[in-house]
Chains A and B, each alone.
Chain A
Amino acid sequence: MGSVKRKILKDFVKASIFAVMVGLFLCAPVTLVASENNESQKEFDARKVIVDHVLDAYDWHLFDIGDKEFSIPLPVILIYEGRFYIFSSARFDHGYASYKGFRIADDGARKGRAIRVLEDGVTPDPNASFIFDFSITKNVVAVFAASIILCLIFISVGKRYRNADPDHIPKGLPAFMEPLIFFVRDQIALLAIDREHYHKFMPYLLTVFFFILLNNLLGLVPFFPGGANVTGNISVTFVLAMFTFVTTHWFANKGYWQHMFNMPGVPMFLKLPIPILPVLEIVGAFIKPFTLMIRLFANITAGHMVILSLTSLIFVLGSVSIFLGYVISPITVLFLIFLNFLKILVAFLQAYIFTLFSAFFFGMAVPKEHH
């Protein structure tokens, strides 16, 4: 017993030293860049860096070398006054240039989005009509990539189950996925939904669980294929919440609607002449997906922001004094390692919570008939 504990302790110490070494190695160039920035008298704006990283973007930023930004340009698709404008986001030159009267807004409500500008290429056009922006942005690419990965994984898993012998014990990828599928079914669907109805919601619950989980995990990868803040984007969580909302009301049975408009077992004066309860119920039906949307968005964005803030700390302190930057780097990196583990937990937790709450809403949509 004692020897096993000592071995674990030894391994832990070894791993810690290794992590610090790797951290220092990774930090050295970062700190160097920070000091370069300092020398070139460029102000390091932590807020801008953090917000820019959690926001969607027209190009996929890879890295900077000195003052040069390297990024993958993505197609911009705009419909303005009935005309299509399709061009590469490289035309915007990372937001420094305007193209065909469009420019990326520096501030305002549409900050970071394409806006119409006047002839000078800088001033926003006050008379501009609405721009339908269907650009393939960074998050759209990330969503597509995650969708393709998800399909590849689960089609290959599904193939092994087609005409499979139920006695066959899964191996490989199916063996990894099966417990998760069981988890979604037993700990989420069956927990929240009546046994009679749960199977109708299983495809949606499984898809949404794995979609959120995969995007959360990809969001933790700090370099190219990952790193997009997909599940921390309000548009994405809005769509997911809308799917839950639509699914809820698509499958809702008589009991649900009765509950909403004429709740049994409550005094009549709450329903007539002023329908207080029905109004509350209808508002509640919209608040439920709204909470789903905000919860996922806020949790994931907050996680990204904390990680980015800690990373920025190196630069901020580095711009004060390069030695301070060196001193803070290993501490920050240790924190970042801890936070990344926490974020892996949060990735699972938020996927679980979104799916569980969706399941609860479905469970309410198909109450048992005896009321």
Chain B
Amino acid sequence: MELLMPGLGLIFWMTVAFGLVLIILKKYAWKPILNVLIQREAKLAQSLANAKRIEREMAQLAELKTVKVAEAEQIYSETTKKAHAEAEKIIDEAREKARLEAKDIMNRADELIQAYKKEAMREIQGQLSALSLDIAEKVLHEEFSDRERNARYVKKLLDQVVEN
């Protein structure tokens, strides 16, 4: 039973001691500690929020990146295609031009060849006629050197006429 008997002195001293401890610790321990803990938590919460925001932004950027890359790829392929087409066109044009030029050159060459040919022919004709005349002259000269035969031939020709 004596265990359950509260003691006045102990109650008094305990109240004093505990009250003092409460006041002292409230001022010198709990306030600064809890302040720092609350600050730290606020900071942590903010950091977490920041991290979340950054993550979200990163995701957005990544999305943007894929879009941009796709766009760039499209532009690239389009440009390449266009460039190809243009290059082909240029090549075609160049080929055509070259062909025309070549044809022109050929034509001119043909003309020249024809002209040369004509000239050559004319020259050859001239020479030929001169040569022919020479030959003819020579032949005639030769022919007429043999009088007897000529006389025979003339007689033959005359005979034919007489016969007719």
A contact set with B: CB distance below 8 Å? 51, 54-56, 77, 109-113, 132-137, 139-140, 143-144, 147, 150-151, 154-155, 157-159, 161-162, 164, 166-167, 174, 178, 181-182, 185, 199, 202-204, 206-207, 211, 233-236, 238-240, 242-243, 301
Please report whether the interface of chain A is mostly helix, strand, loop or mixed according to DSSP: helix
Please report whether the interface of chain B is mostly helix, strand, loop or mixed according to DSSP: helix
**Residue of B at shortest CB range from A233?**
B10
What are 17 pairs between A and B in contact, CB < 8 Å?
A56-B7, A136-B9, A137-B9, A143-B14, A143-B17, A154-B25, A158-B31, A158-B33, A167-B40, A174-B33, A185-B37, A203-B26, A206-B30, A207-B26, A233-B10, A236-B10, A243-B22
Given contacts A112-B2, A167-B43, contact A202 B10 (CB under 8 A): no
Is A134 a contact partner of B9 (Cβ separation < 8 A)?
yes
Known: A167-B40, A211-B18. 4 other contacts (CB 8 A): A133-B7, A134-B9, A140-B14, A158-B25
Contacts of B32 in A (CB 8 A): 158-159, 161-162, 164
A55 to B2, CA, bound (A): 8
Is B18 a contact partner of A147 (Cβ separation < 8 A)?
yes
B90 at the interface (CB under 8 A from A): no
Is B39 a contact partner of A204 (Cβ separation < 8 A)?
no
Is A211 a contact partner of B9 (Cβ separation < 8 A)?
no
Given contacts A134-B13, A150-B21, A207-B26, contact A166 B40 (CB under 8 A): yes
CB distance from A289 to the nearest CB of B (A): 13
A204 to B15, CA, bound (A): 14
A36 to B9, CA, bound (A): 38
**Residue of B at shortest CB range from A131?**
B8
Q: Binary interface profile of B, 41-82, with partner A (CB < 8 Å = 1, else 0)? A: 011000000000000000000000000000000000000000
B91 at the interface (CB under 8 A from A): no
Q: Binary interface profile of B, 110-129, with partner A (CB < 8 Å = 1, else 0)? A: 00000000000000000000
B3 at the interface (CB under 8 A from A): yes
Partner pick for B6 among A140, A161, A178, A234, CB 8 A cutoff: A234
CB distance from B62 to the nearest CB of A (A): 30
A137 to B8, CA, bound (A): 11
A136 to B24, CA, bound (A): 22
Given contacts A147-B17, A207-B25, contact A157 B8 (CB under 8 A): no
CB distance from A154 to the nearest CB of B (A): 4
B161 at the interface (CB under 8 A from A): no
Contacts of B162 in A (CB 8 A): none
**Residue of A at shortest CB range from B1?**
A109
A123 to B31, CA, bound (A): 55
Partner pick for A140 among B13, B21, B33, CB 8 A cutoff: B13
A162 to B33, CA, bound (A): 7
Contacts of B18 in A (CB 8 A): 143, 147, 207, 211, 239-240, 243
Is B40 a contact partner of A151 (Cβ separation < 8 A)?
no
Contacts of B20 in A (CB 8 A): 147
List the 3 closest A-B pairs by CB distance, nearest first: A158-B29, A154-B29, A235-B10
Contacts of A111 in B (CB 8 A): 2
Contacts of A239 in B (CB 8 A): 11, 14-15, 18
